[in-house]
Structure formats: structure tokens, C-alpha cells
Amino acid sequence: MKKIQLNKSTLNQIFIGLTFILALFPILTFGLRSVITIVWVLCGILNALQLNIKIKNKRKYLIFLIVSILPFLYLCITLFYSENYNLGQRRVIQMLPFFLFPIIFYLNKGKFEGKQLQHIFWFFSVSVIILVIYQILYSLFRLDYLMAELSKEEIVRNLLSDKNLLNEDVVSDVKIRRFRSFLLDITDTHFTYQGLWIIFSLFFLSKQGLQKFKLKKYKGLLLFSMAVILVVWLFLISSRMPIIAMVIAAFYVMFVLGRITIKSQLLLLLVTLLCLNVGYFVFTPFRVRVNEIFKNKFELPTETKNSYSYTSVNVRNGIYSCVLSLAKENLIFGVGVGDSQDELNKCYNIKIGAKIFTWKDYNTHNQYFFFLVASGLFGVVLFLALLYLHWKTATNRSNQIYLYFITIICLVSLTENILSRSDGVMFFAFFSGIFLFNINELNDNN
């Protein structure tokens, strides 16, 4: 009898330990993530079966589970009317954590105590810090390349043979693309996801820093120093939407759940505005990418025989134009998860015709639009219902970090398909599962 009890306890500890390791996913390779996730899922199922976990308010949490997995299940249904079944199948497999994580956290409901949950946030935040420091050090060793004059290849690739085109803004823009491509090569992580990870870690570290500062000042100063490094890096990689989301979400949480004086709120507002202004005037990458928005406005990418003009802003304008065109024709059920990219590519070719859209596949760059194109209004409603469930649960429990998390997800989803890459779907599925099914163990100190 004692031996069986030991085995059960050991399995439970293994499951918790694997969850800690999964929290390190920002610095795990895609292959390692997959292997650990598979082992974690199997261990989670066995752990729930052996411990015979009884879930309080079972009906309530069963509804939570159903709402969590319905958007994924409906995407699977759209495979039946997708012509490109193989592509749709690959897309669904990429999004599997969106389905698996809530199930495992549901089966192991309440397994994580307050300190264990805090350890998970620490593991994640430290992994993000390691990722950022690694990129900083690697960049410093290659400053000769990053700061060098434009190469002939870069001039030809960007059709800048005319010397009159090589003004300061254009050169800065090309160097920023060089810097971002360099970072993508060494991390294989898009900057939007890095931005998401950073702003979530910043919120957690800031809360911890304030608590530590009251008790042990040196620990608080250390955490604030780490936070400053993350903020500087956020401006250097010029991840616009995460920066915007960080500011909006922080103030939203502060006004909804915060218990601070008006004087403190005004002070925070002034500090935020100061940081944004410093970021704009000090960090060239951020300034250039902000200026893109005002220069391009609602223009589409243009192309002539000798030159072409494209930025992340006008490319998105082209994407959204095609999204709306497809949505009008397939409003109720969408075109199917397998055909969404093919239909977008056709629209890019016929309606816009810019060469940049032939370089790679451009997705909808908006999570809501992804569900709209792939699964129509039904899919969008199911996804919105899931986001509303998280928002409602976070506000009902008055949990600041949970509300901050779902707010940044909702905001960044306006400009990115968060669930279309491993980096994004892992972040959303992992933390949303933890928050939703361990909410009774969470408190505002986490």
C-alpha cells in the first residue's frame, strides 16, 4: 500500500516538474517543446487517473473546458469543406496545444498551489531574461556587421541603386531590417512573440520588485534592473503592438482592479509618457517603425519597374483589404482552415499585385480575422466567447496578472495571429490553462 502511494506521489511530482520545464519554452527548441509537451500530456492523464482527482464545481469547470476547446474543434470541422486538406491538417496540428493544454489543466484542476504558480511565473520570466541577454551579447559581438554601411546586395535587393533614394531614413530602415533578420536567424522567434513574453514578464517582475523593495531593497533593485533591460530591448526590437498593449493593459488593470491613489495614477501616467518619448527619440528602430504608421497611413504596397515601396504598415493594409474581401463572400462559415492561406494568396496576386506578397505566405496578421476567414462568424463568436470567459473570470476573482494577461492577448491579437505559431500558441494555451483551472489557488500577490 505504501509503495502505491509513493508511486502516485512521484508521478504527481514529475507532472509538476514537467510543468516548470514547460514554462521555460522561450528558450526551448521547437523539437524539445514538442517532446516535453507529449510527455507532459501523458503524465498529466496518468496523474489524474491515479490520483482520482475530484473537481469541485465540476459542471462549472466542465463548461470552462468546453468553451476553451470549441474554437479548435470548429476549426477541425472546417477541414471537411477545405480543398487543401493537407495544409489545413498541418495548421491544426500546429495549434494542438490550444486543445491539449486546457484538457490537461482541467484533469489536474487545483494541482498547483500559490507558491508553485509563482515559481512557474519565475521560471518563465527568467527564461525570457536569458533569451534577451543572449541576443544582446550576440549582437555586441557582431556590431561590425550590424553597424556596417549598406552592402551592394542590400542596395540591389531594396532597389536603391539611385543614390538620391539613399537618405538617412531609408538607410536606417534597411539597417533595422538587417538587425531584425539577424535576430530571427539566431532565435527563430518573431519579435511580436518576444514582445508578448517581455511585457508579461515585466508586469510580473514589477509586482515582485515592489514587494521585495519593501522588505529587502537590494532584491527589489535587482528586479527593477532586469525590468529596465527588458524595456530597453523591447524598444530596440521595435515591437510596436506589444508596447502599446503593455501601456493600455497596465492602465486598464490599474483602473479596474488597482487600489492606488489618484496621485499615484497621475505619477504613473507621467512616467509612462516620459518613457515613450525617450523610447521614440533615443531608440532609432522604434522611431522609424512609429514613423511608418504616419507616413503610409492607408496606402497599399506599390511597385514600379525601377522601385517598390513596402513597409510592415502598408503590407498589413493589403492583407486586411483581402481579408475583408474574402469575409464578404464567405461570411457565415468561412473558406475552411485549409484554404484560408490559398485564398489570401490569390487575392494578393489579383487585387494588389505587389511583388512582396510572392516572397512568402502572409497570414491575416489578426487573430480575429483568422477565425473570420477560416471559420466565418461561427468561429469568431466561439473565439470571442473564450476571451470573454477569461476576462470575466479574471475580473470576478480580482486577479491583476490574469486580467493583464488576457488584455494583452486581446490587444496583440488585433495585429498578429498569436495561435498560428508555436511561440504564440504555447504562450496562450499554457498560461490561459493555468489561470482558468487554478484560479482558486491564485491570489493578487502572484
Structure confidence by residue, pLDDT tens digits, 149-188: 877 777 666 656 555 456 666 777 778 888 888 899 999 8
d(Cα 81, Cα 76) in Å, to the nearest integer? 10
Residue 112: is its pLDDT beyond 90? no
What are the pLDDT digits (tens) for 389-435?
A: 999 999 998 899 999 999 999 999 999 999 988 999 999 999 999 99
Cell of 183: 535576430
Which burial class, exposed, middle or buried, applies to 445 when counting CB atoms under 10 A from its CB (0-12, 13-18, 19+)? exposed
Average pLDDT over residues 271-290: 75
pTM of the model: 0.90
C-beta neighbour count of 13 within 10 angstroms: 11
Q: Which pLDDT belongs to residue 260?
A: 67
Cell of 166: 539613399
Q: Which pLDDT belongs to residue 446?
A: 47
Percent residues over pLDDT 90 in the chain = 47
Specify whether the CB–CB gap between 50 and 8 falls below 8 A.
Answer: yes
d(Cα 382, Cα 194) in Å, to the nearest integer? 27
Average pLDDT over residues 66-75: 96
Closest CA to 15 of 99, 100, 104, 95: 104
Specify whether the CB–CB gap between 300 and 315 falls below 8 A.
Answer: no
pLDDT band of 301, cuts 50, 70, 90: low
Whole-Å CA distances, 183 to 61, 232, 302: 41, 16, 27
* Average pLDDT of every residue of the chain: 84
d(Cα 427, Cα 97) in Å, to the nearest integer? 10
Average pLDDT over residues 29-50: 92
